[in-house]
Amino acid sequence: MVCVVTFIVNQNFCRGFLMTKKVIRPQTFFVALMLSLVSTHVAALNIALTNDDGWDSQGIQTLRAALLSAGHKVTLAGSSENQSGSSAAIDFGQGNVLVTKKFEDGEAAPGGDQYAVSLSSGAGAEPATAGQIAIAIAGQGGAAVDLLISGTNAGANVGAFTNVSGTVGATIHGISLTTGARLPAIAISTNEPQPMLFCPVGNRAQCEAANLSHFEVVADWMIKFIAALEKQPGKLKKSKRLLPDGIALNINYPVSDEILGVQSNVQGRLPSMAGRALGLPLGCYGDCAGAAVNESIPAGVLEPKVLDGVEERKNADTAAFEGGYVSIVVINTDLTASKAERKLISRLVKNLNAKY
């Protein structure tokens, strides 16, 4: 069976990466990436692998195994514990980070060492920090590191939640001038078919088995996608990079019995977390919070929320993901607003300068 994958392509990205000529409908193109048929017999890559769920989580371990089976060299360095929601936080300074080599079942894990990364305080390191450790170890001896992968994350990173995602944050520092890595980077996330957070204690084995099976599907797709990146003709003139400099991909793979295709989207605005303080009333001062001096009160900021709103942006990742498509959003480190959105402050600056 021949499978042709349809991408809804971001026009700017097309010029630099996904090049095609056959127009099917507005902003829709056939791309010569037959993911279900592409050969994985391509050059072995030197890959740095991290995530925000912890170095030993199902998602990252399943992806590591698949990458090794495909012939790639993999250096895994992940947080010593779950650090979801860390965004692009990173730890600077000599001696602030502890790196522990890990083994499985008392034997060295095949295909390369694995590392758990923590802070000197004992807490798990931020995913961005762990990612930089993975890059540093993979590049020892002057070895060229071809790709940073963050994932597979347990939980989608679409819409507004992307901004606080530790999975995505690790890729931001992978392409950032802040750390100087400037590597091609991919964040890969998916929802668990049986979320462990809500799995009854007596059913945890069944939940883990269902999730493992899904993570294996996602990992297999990633192997084919990476092979497609390696074979993509004309992606960059006179360059062996998998992606243009300063570019990362945020990929979200849906939980579905039948994936409808792959779309290149923009980041949606629909939140997947409820942003409010839990346990404390807002906007009150004095004694209304019921706390004495130096008393600690259980509280929080975010809680899980079902995507029940209406996405305002066209071609958003939220809609694609919920609709059964693998969503790919091209991201970079530039936080500059659009030209139209900058006009307001431009007028203000002009008025301010009139006083000088």
pLDDT digits (tens, 9 = 90+) for 261-294: 999 999 888 766 555 555 555 445 555 555 667 7
Structure confidence at residue 25 as a pLDDT band (50, 70, 90): very low
CA 137 to chain centroid, in Å, comes to 21
Which residues, in sequence order, are CB contacts of 290 under 8 Å at separation 6+?
297
CB atoms within 10 A of CB 161: 23
109 pLDDT above the threshold of 70: no
Structure confidence at residue 26 (pLDDT): 29
Structure confidence at residue 305 as a pLDDT band (50, 70, 90): low
Q: Are 187 and 168 in contact (CB under 8 A)?
A: yes
135 pLDDT above the threshold of 60: yes
All domains of the chain, ordered by start, with CATH? 6-269+311-339 (3.40.1210.10), 273-306 (no CATH)
- Percentage of the chain exceeding pLDDT 90: 27
Which of 217 and 193 is assigned the larger pLDDT? 217
Closest CA to 161 of 134, 125, 187: 187
- CA distance linking residue 99 with residue 214, whole number of Å: 30
Structure confidence at residue 272 (pLDDT): 60
118 pLDDT above the threshold of 60: yes
- CA distance linking residue 84 with residue 302, whole number of Å: 12
- The pLDDT of 175-181, averaged and rounded, is 76
Which residues, in sequence order, are CB contacts of 312 under 8 Å at separation 6+?
269, 270
Structure confidence at residue 7 (pLDDT): 33
pLDDT tens for 43-92 read: 889 999 999 888 989 999 999 999 999 999 999 999 877 777 777 667 77
Structure confidence at residue 269 (pLDDT): 84
> Could you tell me the two tokens for 101?
């080599």
pLDDT tens for 138-159 read: 998 989 999 999 989 998 999 8
The rounded mean pLDDT for the chain is: 77
